[in-house]
Structure 1
Amino acid sequence: MSGREYVLFGGDTTCLEIRTADDEIVVVDAGSGIRRLGNRLMDEGRSRLTMLFTHSHWDHILGFPFFKPIYSPSTHIDLFGCPMGQGNVELLLSKTMAAPYFPVPYSALKARIEYKGVCGERLSVGRLRVTSIPLSHPNLGLGYRFEEDGRSFVFLTDNEPAHPHPGGRSAEEYAAFSRGADVLMHDAEYTEADYALTRGWGHSLYTDALDLALRADVGSFFLFHHNQNRSDAALKEMVADCRRLADAAGRPEMGVAAAAQDLEIEL
């Protein structure tokens, strides 16, 4: 999203950076936001990182060819995806650079990229523990829980618990997966009016996402994956409504906000 009505919440498609207590770098998804991240990592001289993917829809992979570290021979990337859910991750990424869609071929990459699978398995990056859960989304996908030193962050984008997509899980299972997290960032793309037309598209009613956060007893809930037509003013209204509903549910202490480009959360 761009334009005057999208200044607060508009911007790039999905790319998250997680820095651990030991200063390890984990990148989640390669939407258009990964371009600016790559520029910063190059400026910082960082050459070792871990990449995870939630799924392979365009808005989560289209930035990969513009990620400068992949053209540097000093870069080493441990790249994780779920072959059963997404197909071969290396093949999928290489297609983003295939002619006639991109002028530089995948074979031109100079980074050392090690492709590894993660399908319901636990993995560790230093002291950071990562667990995954299948998303309820067309063509599947993975949500993640990150835990380190007693702190936890759950990321469930492109998830529709109210509609059972093949391979997905129930709302109760997502609540259990998120239980007690310090931060839950969950897909909250639709209003009731939207959902009348988009049920089954793989995204959540914002009130369903809030309900999941309340049942999971999380510390803070962030609305994520904003609809491209949702203005700043409309998103503020959604956040205010979530705040009212959380207060009415007896959770006035739970943080509620909408995720925004360049948002930083310290745990």
Structure 2
Amino acid sequence: MRVKFWGTRGSVPVPGPATLRYGGNTTCVEVEGQDGTLLVIDAGTGIRSLGNDLMKRNKQLRLHVLLTHYHWDHIQGWPFFMPAFLPGNEFIVFGRSSSADQLKGLFGNQMRSTYFPVEFDKLPSKFEFVPLKENSLKIGELHIQTIENCHPGGAFGLRILEKQRAFVFLTDHEAGLKEKLPHSYEDYVKFSKGAELLVHDAQFTDDELANRRTWGHSSFEEAHKLAEDSGAKRLAFTHHAPERIDFEIDRIINSLMDGRVSSIDAFGLMEGMEFTI
């Protein structure tokens, strides 16, 4: 599968010269299976650039959109996703909800006329809404498992498997809050086991977490521990704090890895990075 990251920032977009390398757009991931199946994870502001890129490909779309949760930084880019404004394009939207109607409301209400000039129901493209619980599903040849993350209001972590090679996405997860984890720590280790690429929330450092517990985000140190315990091959730190400039991300990772003996290739995830898994 091909995996490209169109947004890696947490909380709020932060464009500017100090965030050019790691990027200022909020979470959006494109996954393409070997059979051409297209999956988008989350619809933060990065989805706008993805949409512009898809328009250049000049193909009618059947696109699967999987939302880990509905916090603003994970859905706020959708009203600016140009392919949704084209007749004939089709979108299958998956998300945590009890019904298709509830999911449509959670996703589409940001386009009510109070907030946006084009209402969701006026979009000419086709939509199907699929409520998702903690389980597994198959989209094309992509086998997807979900796990409930430790995050206020809930969020899903994802394990995507194709031909026995796994991509694991654990953003908006507080790995170190063991007394409040929806599952045991060992379950998250098992979920991430042997991943070719583990992308993990690292919004804070251990020191910063002291007065930010229960916010639903991990530290660089916690993310690295989970990667080591699970035997992941590569670890990408994501959901960068909005105040964290490029230099600071470099400094934190260099300090974390300096002198550490580890078989893991650990790095900060940059907007625009693409991997073949």
In the superposition, the TM-score normalised over structure 2's length comes to 0.90
Whether the 8 Å CA contact 2:100–2:131 is kept in 1: the answer is no
Instruction: Give the stretch that moved more between structures: 103-112 or 51-60.
Output: 103-112
Kindly indicate whether residue 124 of structure 2 is the aligned counterpart of residue 110 of structure 1. yes
- Cα-to-partner distance string for 1:77-115 (whole Å, 9 max, x where unaligned): 111112159992210122111232211111111111111
TM-aligned CA deviation for residue 167 of structure 1: 7.1
Contact in 2 for aligned 1:86/1:140 (Cα 8 Å): no
Structure 2 CA distance for aligned equivalents of residues 165 and 225 of structure 1: 23
CA displacement at 1:243 relative to structure 2: 2.6
C-alpha distance in structure 2 between counterparts of 1:5 and 1:69, whole Å: 30
**Deviation by residue 1:111-142 (Cα, 9 ceiling, x = unmatched):** 11111122122211221111100010000010
Query: Structure 1 residues 166, 140: closer, same or farther in 2, change over 3 A?
Result: farther
Instruction: Tell me which residue corresponds to 2:7.
Output: none
Q: Partner residue of 1:23?
A: 36
Structure 1 segments (4+ residues) deviating >4 Å: 84-87, 164-167
User: Does structure 2 conserve the Cα–Cα contact (< 8 Å) formed by 1:25 and 1:48?
Assistant: yes
Q: Does 1:257 align with 2:267?
A: yes
Identity %: 34
* 1:156 alignment partner, one of 142, 147, 170: 170
Unaligned runs of 5+ in 2: 1-13
- Contact preservation (8 Å) 2:100, 2:130: no
C-alpha contact 1:138 1:165 (8 A) present in aligned 2: no
In the other structure, the counterpart of 1:54 is 68
Q: Distance in 2 between matches of 1:242 and 1:110?
A: 49
Q: Whole-Å Cα distance in 1 between the matches of residues 111 and 154 of structure 2? A: 23
- Using the alignment, how far apart are the partners of 1:191 and 1:101 within structure 2? 35
Work out the CA distance in 2 between the residues paired with 1:58 and 1:91. Answer: 14
Q: Mark the CA change 1:149 to 1:223 in structure 2 (over 3 Å): closer, same or farther.
A: same
1:175-230 residue CA offsets vs partner (Å, 9 max, x unmatched): 11000111100001101332122111110011011100000000000001000111
1:175 corresponds to 2:175: no
Higher relative contact order, structure no. (Cα contacts within 8 Å, ≥ 6 residues apart): 2
SS at the partner of 2:166? strand
1:50 aligned counterpart, secondary structure: strand
Q: Secondary structure at the match of 2:274?
A: coil
- Alignment partner of 1:229 is 2:232: no
Structure 1 residues 85 and 199, CA gap change in structure 2 (3 angstroms): farther
Of 128, 136, 154, the match for 2:150: 136
Name the count of aligned residue pairs: 263
Give the superposition deviation at 1:164.
5.2
| Aligned-residue offset at 1:74 | 1.0
Query: How far 1:241 sits from its partner (Å)?
Result: 3.0
Q: Pick one of 70, 78, 86 that aligns with 1:72.
A: 86
